[in-house]
Amino acid sequence: MPTKFYEDPIDPYLPQNGNRGYRVSRYDLELQYKVDSNRLTAKATITAVTTEVLTKFALDLSQSLSVTKVSVNGARAAKHGHQHGKLTITPQQKIPAGGALSISVQYGGTPKPIRSLWGEVGWEELTEGIIVASQPNGAASWFPCDDHPSSKASYRISVTTDSPFYALANGSLLRKQTKASHTTWVYEQAEPMATYLATVQIGSYERRRFVGGIVPMSAILPPRLRVPFEHDFERQPQMMETFTRLFGPYPFAEYTVVVTDDDLEIPIEAQGISIFGANHCDGRRGAERLVAHEMAHQWFGNSLTLTAWKDIWLHEGFACYAEWLWSEESGGPTAEQLARAARHNLARLPQDIVVGDPGPELMFDDRVYKRGALTLHTLRIELGDEQFFALLHEWTAKHRHSSVTTQEFTDLAAHFTSIPLRRLWDAWLREKELPELPPHSA
């Protein structure tokens, strides 16, 4: 019986994304990219296991890219079709449930961002180079995939491009080889990663390493921004020490910040990487709260990734609260002061949003970020600092490199207090009206 692709969506926020019938464990991506012509030639090898008998299956892939060859388990596919962002593949023989699935796709073209409800996301040209920022559904703009955040896998990403350019992808650099006028960069991302967090960054960059610190940290940036960067991002090692103490061990082998030569409207997270624009280097630490926000996503969003987009507050509420925690730790306003100010400002805005299920149109609304952070501050007041931060440590340890839900967080929080928390969750996550903050217990 043919697998259904559109009925019964995996996530109603993105009903066309994600696919049933298999689970991916690994992506091997070989990319050859010409910067001047924005031309991509690529091969993806996808390792998966079937969860049901498959006579055909699908991958997400943008129509901007053309598929030239598909094979399944070493044999050329009987046929494949590519319509409406779905690459449908029919193997020569049906594959039993629990069967190994090795899919090879050769493809190429002129990649461009995917137009979405939230603007253009995915592979995008810069003035000189490219940026990949795929949240929430832009991964299919550059490789065939099961594009849903609960589908996490390991990656090897090989990028061959013109030698003057620096190419960065997720994970550790395994090797770099220059031949003639091209350089190949090969990265291995061993920890499971959601598709939207996979990235490639190409530009006229240099690499700068941070001295000291408990986690290896480096920066990829244009040479012209070196001086303001060193001031604006100077406190990252202390930030990392603070978050490690408050949240638990950093979940990846290293941390890299990219600063593009172009301005960016907002910074964006990728696994093990945060991407900022030239405008975030102002020489005055004007974007330091965003530096903290993006670093916090390595725990909340990248290691612990939401199972469904309705739980976006588990990413953005936590990262926003991390901004307040860093301010508190670094001599700025306390989290209590920032929470009171945020509550005051939110009271002036429409109260028409449910933080625990905001709907696709509002899932990146700033009120989700701020009210999510206020939810955590309220919980901190309720539990007290010792129990609150013990909860965060347990949360990040128990679900390290996996997928999470709001229910799992609220269930875990119940173990850290004898007081029922149902009213707290109902008021902050399930109702539109903005609650009052409880009195601070100093």
pLDDT (tens digit, 9 = 90+) per residue, 150-190? 999 999 999 999 999 999 999 999 999 999 999 999 999 99
Taking alpha carbons only, the member of 208, 147, 121 closest to residue 19 is 147
- One domain for residues 333 and 389: yes
**pLDDT computed for residue 1 by the predictor:** 35
Question: CB under 8 Å to 119, separation ≥6 — which residues?
Answer: none
- One domain for residues 351 and 323: yes
Quote the CA–CA distance of 184 and 201 in Å, as a whole number.
Answer: 13
Q: Is the pLDDT of residue 404 over 60?
A: yes
Position 83 confidence tier, pLDDT thresholds 50, 70, 90: very high
Query: Alpha helix locations (H) across 70-212?
Result: none
**pLDDT computed for residue 441 by the predictor:** 62
Structure tokens of 285?
């630490």
- The CATH number given to whatever domain includes residue 34 is 2.60.40.1730
> At which residue do the structure tokens 């049933």 appear?
20
- One domain for residues 382 and 401: yes
Distance of CA 153 to the CA centre of its chain: 13
In a domain, 56, yes or no: yes
Q: Beta-carbon neighbour count of residue 359 at 10 Å?
A: 13
Q: Is the pLDDT of residue 128 over 50?
A: yes
- One domain for residues 279 and 351: no
Taking alpha carbons only, the member of 287, 247, 254 closest to residue 270 is 254
Quote the CA–CA distance of 376 and 321 in Å, as a whole number.
Answer: 7
- Binding site residue list: 293, 297, 316
Q: Is the pLDDT of residue 7 over 70?
A: no
- One domain for residues 110 and 187: yes
As for how many domains the chain has, the answer is 3
**Cα angle for residues 206, 208, 212 (degrees, 5° grid):** 170
- The CATH number given to whatever domain includes residue 217 is 3.30.2010.30
This prediction has a pTM of 0.97
pLDDT (tens digit, 9 = 90+) per residue, 245-262? 999 999 999 999 999 999
Q: What single string gives the DSSP state of each residue in 400-424? A: TTEEE-HHHHHHHHGGG-SS--HHH
- One domain for residues 42 and 173: yes
Q: Is the pLDDT of residue 4 over 80?
A: no
205 is catalytic: no
Among candidate residues 191, 294, 323, 329, the one labeled active-site is 294
Q: What single string gives the DSSP state of each residue in 65-110? A: EEEEEEEETTEE-SEEEEETTEEEEE-SS-B-TT-EEEEEEEEEE-
Position 405 confidence tier, pLDDT thresholds 50, 70, 90: very high
**pLDDT computed for residue 3 by the predictor:** 43
Residue 181 belongs to domain spanning: 22-116+132-199
Mean pLDDT of the region 34-63: 97
> At which residue do the structure tokens 């149109």 appear?
361
Taking alpha carbons only, the member of 320, 355, 366, 370 closest to residue 430 is 355
Mean pLDDT of the region 37-47: 98
- Binding site residue list for Zn(2+): 293, 297, 316
294 is catalytic: yes
- The CATH number given to whatever domain includes residue 371 is 1.10.390.10
pLDDT (tens digit, 9 = 90+) per residue, 362-395? 999 999 999 999 999 999 999 999 999 999 999 9
CA distances from 393 to 268, 312, 402, 423 (A): 24, 20, 15, 24
Q: Is the pLDDT of residue 2 over 70?
A: no
Percent of the chain scoring above 70 in pLDDT:
98
- One domain for residues 195 and 210: no
**pLDDT computed for residue 211 by the predictor:** 87
Mean pLDDT of the region 57-77: 96
Among candidate residues 187, 196, 255, 369, the one labeled active-site is 369
Contact between residue 428 and residue 434 where contact means Cβ atoms under 8 Å apart: no
pLDDT (tens digit, 9 = 90+) per residue, 205-234? 999 999 889 999 999 999 999 999 999 999
- One domain for residues 217 and 80: no
In a domain, 374, yes or no: yes
Q: Determine which helix (DSSP H) or strand (DSSP E) holds 329, and give its type and residue range.
A: helix 313-329
- One domain for residues 77 and 169: yes
Q: Is the pLDDT of residue 12 over 50?
A: yes
